Amino acid sequence: MSQTQATADAATARAQAERFRAVYSKIQRELGKVMVGQDEVVEGVLSALFAGGHVLLEGVPGLGKTLLVRTLGRAVDLAFSRIQFTPDMMPADIQGTMVLVEGPGGTHRLEFQEGPLVANLVLADEINRATPKTQSALLEAMQEKQITVGRRTIALKEPYCVMATQNPVEQEGTYPLPEAQLDRFLFKLLVGYPKEQEYAAILERTTGTADAEVAKVSNGAEILELRPVVRAVAVPEHAQRFAIRLVMATQPGGEYSTKRVNDLVALGSSPRGAQALLLGAKVRALLAGRFAIAEEDLRAVAPAVLRHRVQVNFRAHSEGVNAEQIVREVLSKAAPAA
* By the rule CB under 8 A, 89 interacts with another protein: no
The site that binds another protein (CB under 8 A) totals a number of residues, namely 39
* By the rule CB under 8 A, 18 interacts with another protein: no
Contact 278, 247 (CB under 8 A): no
Selected range binding another protein among 9-17, 90-98, 109-117, 138-146, rule: CB under 8 A: 9-17
* Binders in 296-315 for another protein, by CB under 8 A: 296-297, 314
CB of 150 vs another protein, minimal distance in Å = 41
Give Cβ neighbours of residue 158 (< 8 Å, ≥ 6 apart).
120, 145, 220, 224
Task: Tell me the C-alpha to C-alpha distance, in Å, between residue 224 and each of 26, 160, 227.
Answer: 16, 10, 5
Distance of CA 74 to the CA centre of its chain: 18
Binding mask 236-275 toward another protein (x if CB under 8 A, else -) reads: xxxx------------------------------------
Which amino acid, one-letter code, is at 314? F
* By the rule CB under 8 A, 4 interacts with another protein: no
SS3 138: helix
* By the rule CB under 8 A, 232 interacts with another protein: yes
* By the rule CB under 8 A, 324 interacts with another protein: yes
Contact 328, 303 (CB under 8 A): yes
Question: What's the CA gap between 71 and 130, in Å, rounded?
Answer: 25
CB of 7 vs another protein, minimal distance in Å = 7
Contact 126, 27 (CB under 8 A): no
Selected range binding another protein among 74-82, 147-155, 231-239, 258-266, rule: CB under 8 A: 231-239
Question: What's the CA gap between 251 and 191, in Å, rounded?
Answer: 26
Binding site for another protein (CB under 8 A): 1, 3, 6-7, 9-10, 12-14, 17, 60, 168-169, 190, 192, 232-234, 236-239, 285, 288, 290-292, 294-297, 314, 317-318, 320, 322, 324, 336, 338
